[in-house]
Amino acid sequence: SQLEKGGYPHFMLKEIFEQPSTLKDCIRGRVAEKGRRIIISGVMDNAEKFLNAKRVVIVACGTSWHAGLLGKYLIQDMCRIPVEVEYASEFRYSNPVLDERDIVIAISQSGETADTLAAINIAKSMGAFVYGISNVVGSSIPRETDSGTYIHVGPEIGVASTKAFTGQVMVLTLLAAAIAQLKGTKSPEEIEEIGKTVNKIPSYVEKVLKLNDKIERLSLIYTYARNFLYLGRGYSYPVALEGALKLKEISYIHAEGYPAAEMKHGPIALIDAEMPSVIIAPNDHLYEKIVNNVQQVKARGGSIIAIVTEGDTVIRNIADHVLEVPEVPECLSPIITSIPLQLLSYYIAINKGKDVDMPRNLAKSVTVE
Ligand code: G6P
C-alpha cells in the first residue's frame, strides 16, 4: 500500500499532488485549435437539447454538490440559461417540477450515490434530459443517464474528495464553454481566452502546490482552533463551502462556509481572536467588495488567512497570512483557489493525529439512503 501511495504518506496528499496530471487527463482532447474550440461530445451529440433548454437543474451530494454550485455560476454566466442546484436527497422528495425542456445534470465522483441515482430516476420519469458527470467509468450513474462526460482523474481513494472536485469543476467549465460556443452566448475571443487558460491550468496548479511548505508551517498556528469561518463571494463562495467541508471531514474542527456579504446577518457575531477566518479573495469583479469583508473581520479582532492573487497589496496589509495564487480569469479561479484549502485541512488534520484517508463516520461512496 506504501507503493500505491507513490511515496506519499497518505492517499489524500498523493491525490492533491496528482492534480496537475489529473487535470491534464481531464482536459485531453477537449480543447482544440490552440484553445479556439471546446469539444464536449455530449453537448455536440445533443445540440438540440442544449439549444432549446429552458432550465438546468443540477443534483448532487457532498463535494459534488459544491462543484454543482460552481456549475450554476458557470452555466448562467456563459450560457444565459437559468440554473438551480439541489441536494439530491432533497430533490427526490420535493415533488419537483420538470419537463422535456429541462436538463438535469447529475454530478457524482463514484457514480453510485443512492440519493443521486434516485434523483436521476425521477428526472427521467418526468421526461427531462439527464446528463451525468462522473469519474468511475461504467458505474451506475453513467449507465442510467442519457449522456454525459467523465472527469477522467483516475481512482480517488481518500474519503475527502480533492482531485475529483477539481476535475468536476474543470468539466463543468468546459461544458459551459461548449454550450456557450453552440449558442453563441460567448464570442469566439472569449471562448479562446477560456480555452487557452484551460490549457495552462495544469502548470498553474503545479505552481500553487509550491505553497505546500508554507501551508504546512501555517497549519501549526491553527491546529487548536475550535471553529473556523470560510468566506468568499461569487465564484469563491462555493470554494469557501468546499474548504470548510474539507476541514470538518478530516480534522473534526467545526467550520462554516458562508457568502462573505451574508456574514453581517449572523456569523459576524461569532468573530473574535479565537475564531480564524479563511477568506478567498482573488482579483475578480468582487475584489473591492471582499476587501470590505476582510476589514470587517479584522475590526472585530479575527485572525485572517487570505487566498489572494499574486502581487496583491491591499489584503496583504490587513490579513495575518496571505497565500498567493496565479491570476486566471475568474471562471477558472475556483480550481486554483481550492488547492491551498485542501492542503490546509490536510496538515491541520495531520497535526491533530487524525486518519485523513479514513475519517470516522464517513464513507467514500454512500450507496444506501
Ligand atoms: C461521500 C463522500 C464525499 C462525496 C459524497 C458524494 O460523502 O465522502 O467525498 O463528495 O459522498 O459522492 P459522489 O460519489 O456522488 O460524488
**Considering the chain, what percentage of its residues have pLDDT values greater than 90?**
98
Q: Which residues contact 260 (CB under 8 A, 6 or more apart)?
A: 231, 232, 233, 237, 240, 279, 289, 290, 293
Residue 71: which of 85, 61, 53, 50 has the closest Cα?
85
Q: Which residues contact 362 (CB under 8 A, 6 or more apart)?
A: 159, 249
pLDDT attached to residue 360: 94
- Helix residue ranges, H only, 186-282: 188-209, 212-222, 236-251
The β-bridge relationship of strands 83-87 and 37-38 is unpaired
CA distances from 137 to 48, 129, 153 (A): 26, 20, 11
In tens, the pLDDT along 138-188 reads 999 999 999 999 999 999 999 999 999 999 999 999 999 999 999 999 999
pLDDT attached to residue 228: 97
- Rounded to 10 deg, the angle between the 212-222 and 333-351 helix axes is 50
pLDDT attached to residue 3: 74
Residue 112 Cα to ligand 1 middle (Å): 9
Q: Is the pLDDT of residue 1 over 70?
A: no
Residue 317 Cα to ligand 1 middle (Å): 38
Residue 29 grid cell: 482532447
Q: Is the pLDDT of residue 2 over 90?
A: no
Q: Which residues pair with 307 in a beta bridge?
A: 280, 323
Task: Give the residue carrying C-alpha cell 449558442.
Answer: 183
Q: Which residues contact 365 (CB under 8 A, 6 or more apart)?
A: 110, 112, 113
In angstroms, the CA 156 to CA 162 distance is 8
Ligand 1: residues with CB < 6 A are 61-64, 108-110, 113, 116, 159, 161, 362, 364-366
Residue 196 grid cell: 487557452
- How buried is residue 137: exposed, middle or buried, by Cβ count under 10 Å (0-12/13-18/19+)? exposed
Residue with the nearest Cα to atom 4 of ligand 1?
62
Residue with the nearest Cα to atom 5 of ligand 1?
62
Instruction: Give me the phi and psi of 153, to 5 degrees please.
Output: -100, 5
CA distances from 133 to 34, 114, 150, 228 (A): 25, 15, 6, 31
Q: Are 227 and 254 in contact (CB under 8 A)?
A: yes
In angstroms, the CA 132 to CA 27 distance is 17
Which atom of ligand 1 is least distant from the CA of 62? 10
Q: Is the pLDDT of residue 37 over 80?
A: yes
Residue 113 Cα to ligand 1 middle (Å): 7
In tens, the pLDDT along 79-91 reads 999 999 999 999 9
The β-bridge relationship of strands 31-32 and 37-38 is antiparallel
Residue 231 grid cell: 468566506
CA distances from 98 to 49, 65, 95, 104, 195 (A): 14, 20, 10, 9, 33
pLDDT attached to residue 293: 97
Residue 299 Cα to ligand 1 middle (Å): 37
Which atom of ligand 1 is least distant from the CA of 362? 8
In tens, the pLDDT along 85-108 reads 999 999 999 999 999 999 999 999
Residue 340: which of 322, 357, 323, 321 has the closest Cα?
323
Q: Is the pLDDT of residue 230 over 90?
A: yes
Residue 242 grid cell: 468546499
Residue 332 is given by DSSP the state G
Model's pTM, two decimal places?
Answer: 0.97
Residue 357 Cα to ligand 1 middle (Å): 14
Task: Collapse the DSSP code of 259 into the 3-class scheme (helix H, G, I; strand E, B; otherwise coil) and give the result.
Answer: strand
Q: Are 196 and 32 in contact (CB under 8 A)?
A: no
Q: What is the mean pLDDT of the chain?
A: 97
Instruction: Give me the phi and psi of 365, to 5 degrees please.
Output: -135, 125
* pLDDT classification of 334: cutoffs 50, 70, 90: very high
ipTM of the modeled complex: 0.96
Which atom of ligand 1 is least distant from the CA of 160? 9
* pLDDT classification of 40: cutoffs 50, 70, 90: very high
Residue 243 Cα to ligand 1 middle (Å): 15
